[in-house]
Amino acid sequence: MHGSGRGGGVLIGISDSSRIKVIQTYIDPNFEIISLDLEFHGFTFVVASYYKPPNVKNTNDIISWYEKQTNPNVLILGDFNLPSIDWTTLTVKPGPDHSMHSTFLDFVVANNLNQPIDFPTHNKGNILDLIVTSMDISQPSSELSASDHHTIHVNIPVDHENIPLDNRVSKTFFKFEEANHYELSLDFHCLGKSVDNMISSAQPIDHVWNELKTNIHNIATTHIPNYPATNRKKHWYTRSTIREIRKRRRMKKNLRKDNSDLLGNLRNKINIAKNSRTTIPIIM
């Protein structure tokens, strides 16, 4: 989706191999907002992509969109063009459009939302691209891109306990040190000839690829001892740790500039909890 004029445009892409299901799509007819209601093994959330042109002097569009949401799990990403907000101190720097910046910051604070990006996202050193969310997410990272904006990476942790056992991805572990290398070599040699014959006879590439994948898996499971992974409950992910994670938001405003041992201990507990969760990668 792209508005008129130079720059802008919003897009949400989901990998074909992803297990995320799209429940509903929303495209704003007047503003550059697109959102998807998504579901991942019973966990539902909303992802929105947003762009505010520099000449637009308010953020009423995205605030109005958020107020219409009924799902408590919301993630908004995009170019907000609000460089005067200091996200470390949650204050607005003196300068033009002070009222617009203050209104949006008040909206984030009043709704107990989190905006974790505190590093430049533009090659001129400004923080223009934001992640505004009601969910616990990983600390974002960035890297240079072909654009004047940086690429932002972030993960959405999903508790393993919330994923039904029959929906979890089953894994097989191979004992490669006990493999029958002689039989592997013979079967893969025959497989190579079979693939060459299929290509020579101009069979569809999708068919050749599927045959190759299926046969590699069959050969490996036949000649390499293997065993399925077991689902073990993460005993360290306790109610106490969950409370600490939730407390992080309430304490964040006061602790962002605090270098005390309390902040370090809190971050360690949060990291321990996050290691017990599946993550949904998000790239902006």
Render pLDDT for 260-272 as a digit per residue (tens, 0 to 9). Answer: 555 566 566 656 6
Under 8 Å CB-to-CB from 72, ≥6 apart: which residues? 134
The angle at the Cα of 161, spanning 23 to 275, to the nearest 5 degrees, equals 100
Same-domain status, 77 and 124: yes
Same-domain status, 25 and 144: yes
- Cα Rg of the chain, angstroms: 24
Tens of pLDDT, residue by residue over 24-68, are: 898 888 889 999 999 988 889 999 999 999 999 999 999 999 999
| Number of other CB atoms surrounding residue 258 within 10 Å | 12
263 domain residue, yes or no: no
Dihedral over alpha carbons 81, 84, 89, 90 (to 10 degrees): -60
What distance in Å separates the CA atoms of residue 282 and residue 113, rounded to the nearest whole number? 18
pLDDT of 217 higher than 70: yes
Q: Last residue of a domain, which of 205, 228, 251?
A: 228
**Are 43 and 64 in contact, with CB atoms under 8 Å apart?**
no
Same-domain status, 117 and 30: yes
129 domain residue, yes or no: yes
Same-domain status, 221 and 103: no
Nearest C-alpha neighbor of 245 from the set 278, 267, 275: 267
Query: So what's the pLDDT on residue 233?
Result: 45
What distance in Å separates the CA atoms of residue 64 and residue 80, rounded to the nearest whole number? 15
Name the residue with higher pLDDT: 148 or 166. Answer: 148
Strands 91-92 and 85-86: antiparallel
Name the residue with higher pLDDT: 86 or 252. Answer: 86
Name the residue with higher pLDDT: 202 or 41. Answer: 202
What distance in Å separates the CA atoms of residue 91 and residue 253, rounded to the nearest whole number? 11
What distance in Å separates the CA atoms of residue 106 and residue 108, rounded to the nearest whole number? 5
Same-domain status, 91 and 209: no
Same-domain status, 51 and 145: yes
Structure tokens at 31: 């503003």
Same-domain status, 84 and 53: yes
Domain count, the chain: 2
Structure tokens at 147: 């654009």
Mean pLDDT across the chain: 82
Same-domain status, 28 and 95: yes
250 domain residue, yes or no: no
Facing residues of 10 across strands?
A: none
Facing residues of 50 across strands?
A: 33, 78
Name the residue with higher pLDDT: 238 or 42. Answer: 42
pLDDT of 234 higher than 70: no
Same-domain status, 25 and 126: yes
Range with top average pLDDT, 133-137, 253-257, 259-263: 133-137
For residue 124, the one-letter residue type is K
**Are 4 and 31 in contact, with CB atoms under 8 Å apart?**
no
pLDDT of 86 higher than 70: yes
Same-domain status, 26 and 140: yes
Mean pLDDT in residue range 138-142: 89
Query: So what's the pLDDT on residue 168?
Result: 47
Name the residue with higher pLDDT: 241 or 119. Answer: 119
Query: So what's the pLDDT on residue 177?
Result: 87
Mean pLDDT in residue range 118-139: 92
Q: Which helix (H) or strand (E) holds 13?
A: none
Q: Minimum mean pLDDT among 35-39, 96-100, 242-246, 267-271: which range?
A: 267-271
81 domain residue, yes or no: yes
Q: Exposed, middle or buried, 16 (CB in 10 Å: 0-12/13-18/19+)?
A: exposed
What distance in Å separates the CA atoms of residue 104 and residue 78, rounded to the nearest whole number? 14
What distance in Å separates the CA atoms of residue 209 and residue 260, rounded to the nearest whole number? 56
Confidence of residue 78 (pLDDT cuts 50, 70, 90): very high
Mean pLDDT in residue range 176-182: 90
46 domain residue, yes or no: yes
Mean pLDDT in residue range 108-118: 92
216 domain residue, yes or no: yes
244 domain residue, yes or no: no
The CATH number given to whatever domain includes residue 116 is 3.60.10.10
Share of the chain above pLDDT 70, in %: 74
Same-domain status, 32 and 141: yes
272 domain residue, yes or no: no
Find the domain containing 213 and state its range: 172-228
pLDDT of 70 higher than 70: yes
Same-domain status, 102 and 190: no
